[in-house]
Amino acid sequence: MSRIGIGLRKEHYPYLKQGSPVRVSWFEAITENYMDSKGKPLSMLEKVRENFPVALHGVSLSILGGTFPNPKYIDRWKELIDRIQPFLVSDHLCWTEEGGNYLHDLLPFPFTKEFLDFAVERVDRVQEILQRKILLENVSTYLRFQESEMQEWEFIRELALRSGCGLLLDINNVYVNSKNHGFSAQEYLSSVPWDHVGQIHIAGHTDTGEFLFDTHSRPVSSEVWDLFSQFSSKIKDLPILLEWDDDIPSFLEVEEEALKAEAILSKATVP
């Protein structure tokens, strides 16, 4: 499988339905957009799956949430996985729900030894339920907890090593957090257990002037591409996905942005 993919978005359904040329090699579908629908969205996903590998990426597992697991969510998730046969399954390392109320935000948590034990236990349960490895994504955040006892990359590293889960490493999120919280993005990426990284995300963010906001509404910034290039030797064999979720341009524009990754990696491999 070639390494460059883009997110499957409804704005691009007409283009794909026409059988128009596609240069990327795989698609990532947001799990919740298809697990609750047996109509047009699922039909479109199955049509795409006939010709392309698909990854399922969730936003509502709430693996660190108060009410877990949600049997209804798990059943629908498993049904979609069985139906689509994705080449990988992922969600976010965060919580989105408390007391049965879903907040629709990817919320942070303290980087403590106690919370690490808690997260490892939750990952074990998910992987036992699904009988497969899952990938968890580092999220962008806008606050830190005073209780934290370790750096974000140390927490993620220990989680992967202890649970055996894969990591979906979002380079843009690393950069956003490095600016919002004042750490070195290079140190973060140098400390990641790369043998546990199973997929890369890149995306565009918005600079509010006071902090960086992970909007997925713009082209990838030059700073994020620079990080991508610096760690290209680690990235080169991994599936790479461009996310674009707001102010979505045409399919061809999104595809062109995604293929910049291929060009950077090609240059990086020249002796």
CATH number at residue 177: 3.20.20.150
Which regions in the chain score pLDDT beneath 50?
A: 270-271
| 51, two tokens | 């010709």
Q: What pLDDT is attached to residue 52?
A: 97
Q: Can you give the residue range of the structural domain that contains 52?
A: 4-269
| 182, two tokens | 């004042």
Domain count, the chain: 1
pTM: 0.95
Q: What pLDDT is attached to residue 114?
A: 97
